[in-house]
Structure 1
Amino acid sequence: MIYTASPDNVVMLLGDKSMELFRTAVDGAREDYNRYVGAFPVWAAQDCGRMTFNLIHERIWHRVVDLSEDLDGLHAVEKGTTRNLHIGSQFQVRFKLHDSAGGVVSYPTQTALDFWAEPPATLPSMECVNLAVGYEWDKNLGSMGRAVMSLHVSMDKPLWVIELPRIGGEGSGDISVIQGPVDGPQLPTIVMPSAPAREIGRG
């Protein structure tokens, strides 16, 4: 079947277990960061942005690696400074800070520019959707905001941004769209094999 990469379709195709992994990793990293700030308030106040964001990214990534070990179809891959979570053959995820406009920041290497660019023209069955999962950063408070997921046409131009839904409990599975889908570039398509869509990520 063919789906557009709309927020609803992406969340549905990723499945509950993948979405729960994302939310758990980001929320857990927030707890880790708050614990660090509470234990070392002077150090935290003196940290440059790079130190802060590297710490948060490390905590998200290592939680993702631990949580993905028991899930079929999820593979955490680290190559040098590049870290991707592969979910089936349909999705690649990178973990990123989002600014107030939904943009992400990365060194402009060719690999990064390719990842955040519009999907290339490929055979439909080979197409992969690249997603950003992470958090909003409150510059004024110096703290992590909402846990979010986004789809981009470039690093500073999201097609849409949603708050990661909570799985289980009150409001379970509700999708809160923060931005988009926007007019302009068309949403990429996701071509699923004959297996039922909800088997991706075993959701």
Structure 2
Amino acid sequence: MLSEFPSFDEVRAGLGDKVIGAVSLSVADAKERLAVYRQTLPDHAAEHSQRGLANMINDWLWASIRRSLDPVASVALNDREPTHEIGVGLEYRLRVKRHRDGRVRSYPTQTFLDFQLQGQQLAFPSMSEVRLNVGYRWDEETRSISAPVISLPHGADVIWHETLESVAPNIKPLRPDADGPQLPVIEVVEDDDAEGTEDR
């Protein structure tokens, strides 16, 4: 077990700008995708269950994180359903989660409980491992994504919970035009001397 919990500043420095940036970008991308989904399929979006919506958002987050972090040598992505984890070096393990009131919720499986409790790294028992939840803050009333967040859990407690800097989305999904699709414009250039032209 960790003898002393690391501060947010220590964790931010340990994770590095690429990991922190990838989390913020994934939230921006998911927020954009959710807006497009609601605009294109409003009836379907309105009928979506909370759990189904959360699963879809989680898929969007993970896809964005993979695009950002796959090339980073110090990062290992564990993509084994139903668990998505980000390993940074040997010291940090992150899970992508929805945060409500600074906390994450999940079925209390042994795997979830083990992750939430700070402690030894199973692969290297002599080393401590910092386990973090990253993701987004969820507004229950409006069913909307607000800010990217990171939290340090310890059992049922949250040692700290911090908001990350928001960024612009990296994806620009095609939003449907209110006036419908536009036909392409084809320009035809007429050459008065078409038969007598020579290659120039």
- 2:81 aligns to what? 80
Contact 2:26 2:65 (C-alpha < 8 Å) held by counterparts: yes
- 1:9 aligns to what? 10
Structure 1 residue 34 corresponds to structure 2 residue 28: no
TM-score where L is the length of structure 1: 0.75
**Separation in 2 of the partners of 1:107 and 1:4?**
25
SS in 2 for 1:96: strand
Structure 1 residue 144 corresponds to structure 2 residue 151: no
Q: Which moved more, 1:9-18 or 1:157-166?
A: 157-166
**Separation in 2 of the partners of 1:14 and 1:121?**
17
Contact 2:95 2:133 (C-alpha < 8 Å) held by counterparts: yes
SS in 2 for 1:141: coil
SS in 1 for 2:104: coil
Do the aligned partners of residues 120 and 128 (structure 1) sit closer, same or farther apart at CA in structure 2, a change above 3 Å counting? closer
TM-score where L is the length of structure 2: 0.76
Name structure 2 gaps, 5 residues minimum.
168-200
Contact 2:117 2:154 (C-alpha < 8 Å) held by counterparts: yes
Q: For the aligned residues, what is the CA RMSD? A: 2.3
- Residue 119 of structure 1 deviates from its aligned partner by 2.0
Do the aligned partners of residues 3 and 125 (structure 1) sit closer, same or farther apart at CA in structure 2, a change above 3 Å counting? farther
- Residue 165 of structure 1 deviates from its aligned partner by 2.8
**Separation in 2 of the partners of 1:157 and 1:143?**
25
- 1:165 aligns to what? 165
Q: Counterpart amino acid of 1:103? A: R
- 2:118 aligns to what? 118
Aligned residue pairs, count: 165
Name structure 1 gaps, 5 residues minimum.
168-203
**Separation in 2 of the partners of 1:131 and 1:158?**
10
Select the structure with the greater relative contact order (CA < 8 A; seq sep ≥ 6): 1
**Separation in 1 of the partners of 2:128 and 2:36?**
41
SS in 2 for 1:5: coil
- 2:64 aligns to what? 63
SS in 1 for 2:112: helix
SS in 1 for 2:19: helix
